[in-house]
Structures are given as C-alpha cells and as structure tokens.
Amino acid sequence: MTRKLITGGTVVTATETMRADVLIDGEKIVGLLGADVESPEVDLAIDATDRLVFPGSIDAHTHMEIPFGAATSKDTFETGTRAAAWGGTTTIIDFPIQMKGDSLIGSFEQTMAKAAGNSAIDFGFHQIVGDVNEQSLAELNLVLEEGVTSYKLFTAYPGVYYSTDGEVARVMQWAAGNGSTILMHAENGSAIDLLREQAIARGDTSPLAHALTRPAEMEGEAAHRVILLAEMTGAPVYIVHISAKQVVAEIAAARRRGTNAFGETCPQYLYLELDMLDQGFEGAKYVCSPPLRDPGEGHQKALWQGLAGGDLQVIATDHCPFDFEGQKTLGRNDFTQIPNGLPVVEHRFPLMVHAALEEGRFSLNRMVDVSSTAPAKMFGLYPQKGTIAVGSDADLAIVDPGAKVVLSAESHHMNVDYSCFEGKELTGRIETVMSRGSIIVSDGKFVGKQSHGRYLRRGLNQLLQ
Ligand code: URP
Ligand code: ZN
Ligand code: ZN
C-alpha cells in the first residue's frame, strides 16, 4: 500500500474550511492531520502550500458517445473521462439509453461494455427508460440489481424518448416502491413540436428558432406536471438541466410542501445566453435542450439564487458534445436537424471554483456542496465520494487559487472542435487530481491510466426530506 501525504493545503468540504494535511493509504483517506501533528512517514509527499484541496468533483449528468438524430456525441468514455479529470472531476454518472423497441437491461449492458476498461475515472449510470411497456417494467428490477438507483424519463422529444404522463406515472409508481429517484427532462414536447413545425413552415430555419420554439413557460409547465405526478405516486423526482426561473419556483414550492423534488442546473445556463444563438449558423454551437435563455427575463439570477440558497441542489453538465463541422452542420438548413448538446464536462468544476473565488456567487463550501457532496448524497455515493473524510475514497482536486486560466478549443481536452466558453478567463487552476489515491493529473498533465475507472454500484437518495 502506498502512503501519501498532502501537506500544507487548505482543505475545503461542504461544511468546513481547515488547514490540514491529508494522509492517504492506498485508495482511502486515513487521516486529516492538524498543523501541530508531526508528519508521518510516507512514500510520497505532495506540497499543497497556498493551495485549496477539494473533494474530487462529481458530474452527475454526462452523455458519452450517445446517438442524437443522425449524429453521435463526440466524446467516448475514453476521451470524455480524461477531459473530466483535467477539470477536477473524478466521478461521472452517464446514461444507458433504452430506445423504442430495445431491451432495457440490454441497453445497460451495452453502455457498460463501452465504459468498462475505457474510463479514466469512476463512473455510475442512470438508466433512460425510452419505452415503457410490460417487458421494460420487468427489466427495471434487473437494472436496479446492478446498482442503478435513478431512472430518467422525458416529457420532451416526442417519437424518440418521450413518455406520456401515464407512462411517467407508471415508472414513478415502481420507483416509489423501492426508493429509486426519477430524473425528468421537463419540457412540453407536444406543444414545442407544434411551434417547431410552424417555424419551419414559415421558413424560420435558423438556430435561434431552436430556442424560440422551446419557451420557458413550457419548461415550467412540464416541471409542474411531473412534480404533481411525483406527489401522486410518492417517488422522489429530480429535474435535470434546468434553464428557466419557472422551474426553480416549482421546485421551491414543492419542497415547501414537503415533496422530495430536487433540481439540477448546468454552467451553460448560468454563463451563456439566448443571444449566442443569434449569429447566423454559428449559433448552432449553442443549441441544447432546454435552450439558453434571455438573462433579461431573470432566469440566470433565479438559477444562481437557487444554487446559493438551496432550492437547487446540484450543478452538473449534461455534457453532450458535437463537432461544429460535420455534426452541428447537419442542421444548416433546418434547426430541427442540429444535434442538441454542448461540451462542458472539463469546465464545470473550474467554472464553479471561479464563481466562488472571483464572483462571490456562493461560499467555497456551498460550491463544494453543489458540485460534489450533494450529487454524492443524491445518488447514493456518500461518504465514499463527495467529501474529504477518514474512510472516503482519496478523490481530490488541488487548486491554485491565485492562478488564471483561459478556456479555449486550442487547449481543452474534450474531443470537439469548438468551445462554447472560448476566451473566458477563470481564476483558479486545477494542478493535481487524484482518484482513489492514484495521481491522474499532475501539474496540468494527464498521468492516469485509461482503465483506472471503476463502475459504482449506488445506494438510494440520501437527501430525502
Ligand atoms: O441538449 C441536450 N440536452 N442534449 C442531451 C440530451 C438530453 O436531453 O439530456
Ligand atoms: Zn435531457
Ligand atoms: Zn442529458
């Protein structure tokens, strides 16, 4: 067993900021030593003087190599988990997708075959249920036995992933019976399809029309509906990739009623805006669903307040990268053919460090909570993941808070030909990243092993009220 000591740093968790040396034995943290404690003998000491030592971050929403229309998201588990590591993320939760007519357990096994042996960091899965029928309802139990305790359904994308209210309610009933959490992509797909057809019919084919045909009200409406379905069935519900203030309000109201309703937003909804789609076809770089919103309508303010104040619990990415050339361009003459999704997995944690250090959006402790600790608790990984404590996995991100970095497609490691944060300067540089005691990023260089990542069997939601 290799013993390592991280010396001289400031350890930041969701609840504490302390000067402590972190003692690691093999894969686990075995001690947090105060400045007055004599340093033990170790095989390797890492000097973290003037550095912040954070728990390795958790991205609870990624899509490596998934089909979307005619395209497949560009990052594989190999490239995407490496890029995540560069950004201080040591765990991802990705999604097997059951398409219409597919076996549910078959889709789980196929995604496991892609990820196992090819991931640089640990990974878990949420299961997408794209075809609710008797067979898939039976197979849900097989997926649950594999340690998958969260299931995603869609009120969006009719004809593809969409489920009716009755189908959503049926899977929620099953989840309520065993404590699993239901993830919802909440947009009113049917009303949105009407607006999309009308836009195309009048020749409005540009990327901006993608956003204008997915109004915030239709995100709020769907969130309201699925929260009431969750109340009817008793299942915990977690609304993914929230972009609209209406959804924050729905979750806040539901939580006040005692409902187990939770919310996730993503850096793109906090930092990018509707105008970015309004630059001819270049706007396709910013096409995702739900869409970027007009900050003048107060959406970003509500999302930041939700994260800082607790109405929203998690910051994830919905990482789903497509090249501009050859993939986004599939929709050059018709926005409905642009594959939806943005490349974000590498930049989520650095953006949140910047938001705390430079912008004062929230304390460093709250930042750790929304980006590491709450996702670990939400998805049954705590305290193995999501904190720095004796007995936890030695997943760590050491940050120089005095350094600046500039985000760019020239320097990022995601397998995609553009950056949606091109030129943005951030305060804080991720220097060293450790996964289960192994150094995987050192002085900004990837030194990990591609097969290092392990599948995480997860427990139930630990944030139920
Ligand atoms: O635009 C998005 N969000 N693409 C990924 C698929 C999804 O809906 O999460
Ligand atoms: Zn979605
Ligand atoms: Zn997604």
Give the residue, out of 59, 61, 63, with the most ligand 1 atoms within 8 A of its beta carbon, to mutate for a pocket test. 63
Residues with CB under 6 A from ligand 1: 63, 185, 241, 288-289, 318, 320, 340-341
Q: How would you class 425 by CB atoms within 10 Å of its CB: exposed for 0-12, middle for 13-18, buried for 19 or more?
A: exposed
Report whether 1 contacts 11 (CB < 8 A).
Answer: no
What is the pLDDT, as a whole number, of residue 365? 98
Closest residue (by CA) to atom 2 of ligand 1? 341
Identify the nearest ligand to the CA of 73 by its number. Answer: 1
CB of 398 closer than 8 Å to CB of 432? yes
Interacting residues of 326 by C-beta distance below 8 A, sequence separation 6+? none
- CATH classification of the domain holding 111: 3.20.20.140
CA distance 42 to 22: 11
Contact between 319 and 343 (Cβ < 8 Å): yes
Per-residue model confidence (pLDDT) at position 344: 99
Give the dihedral sign, CA 33/34/37/38: positive
How many A from CA of 48 to the centre of ligand 1?
38
Q: Which domain holds residue 294?
A: 1-465
Nearest-5° Cα angle at 410, 408 to 414 = 75
* Alpha carbon of residue 146 to chain centroid: 21
Are the CB atoms for 225 and 155 separated by under 8 Å? yes
* Residues 81/119, Cβ–Cβ less than 8 Å: yes
Which residue's C-alpha comes closest to atom 8 of ligand 1?
289
Distance from the alpha carbon of residue 165 to the mean position of ligand 1, in angstroms: 20
Dist. CA 234–CA 36, nearest whole Å = 50
112 CA distance to ligand 3 centroid (A)? 18
Distance 155 CA to ligand 2 centre (A): 9
Ligand 1 pocket: which of 161, 318, 319 to mutate (most atoms within 8 A of CB)? 318
SS3 23: strand
Q: Determine which residue's CA is closest to atom 3 belonging to ligand 1.
A: 289
CA 368–ligand 3 middle distance (angstroms) = 22
If we measure between CA atoms, which residue out of 276, 279, 221 comes closest to residue 250?
Answer: 221
Say what the pLDDT of residue 35 is.
Answer: 81
pLDDT at 335: 98
Number of domains in the chain: 1
Specify the pLDDT at position 34: 93
CA–CA distances in Å: residue 96 to residues 86, 103, 146, 237? 24, 11, 12, 19
Asked if 380 and 461 count as a contact pair (C-beta separation under 8 A), the reply is yes
Nearest Cα to Cα of residue 442 among 398, 387, 391:
398
Mind listing the pLDDT tens digit of every residue in the chain (465 residues)? 699 999 999 999 999 999 999 999 999 999 999 988 998 999 999 999 999 999 999 999 999 999 999 999 999 999 999 999 999 999 999 999 999 999 999 999 999 999 999 999 999 999 999 999 999 999 999 999 999 999 999 999 999 999 999 999 999 999 999 999 999 999 999 999 999 999 999 999 999 999 999 999 999 999 999 999 999 999 999 999 999 999 999 999 999 999 999 999 999 999 999 999 999 999 999 999 999 999 999 999 999 999 999 999 999 999 999 999 999 999 999 999 999 999 999 999 999 999 999 999 999 999 999 999 999 999 999 999 999 999 999 999 999 999 999 999 999 999 999 999 999 999 999 999 999 999 999 998 999 999 999 999 999 999 999
Give me the pLDDT at residue 444, please: 86
Give me the count of residues in the chain: 465
3-class secondary structure, 452: coil
Ligand 2 centre to CA of 62 (Å) is 10
- Whether 318 and 61 have beta carbons less than 8 Å apart is answered as yes
pLDDT at 36: 86
Cα 240 to ligand 2 centre (Å): 7
Mutate to test the pocket of ligand 1, among 161, 289, 337 (most ligand atoms within 8 A of CB): 289
Q: Which ligand 1 atom is nearest residue 287's CA?
A: 1
Nearest ligand 1 atom, CA 61: 9
Residue 1: per-residue pLDDT: 66
pTM comes to 0.98
CA of 341 to the centre of ligand 3 (A): 8
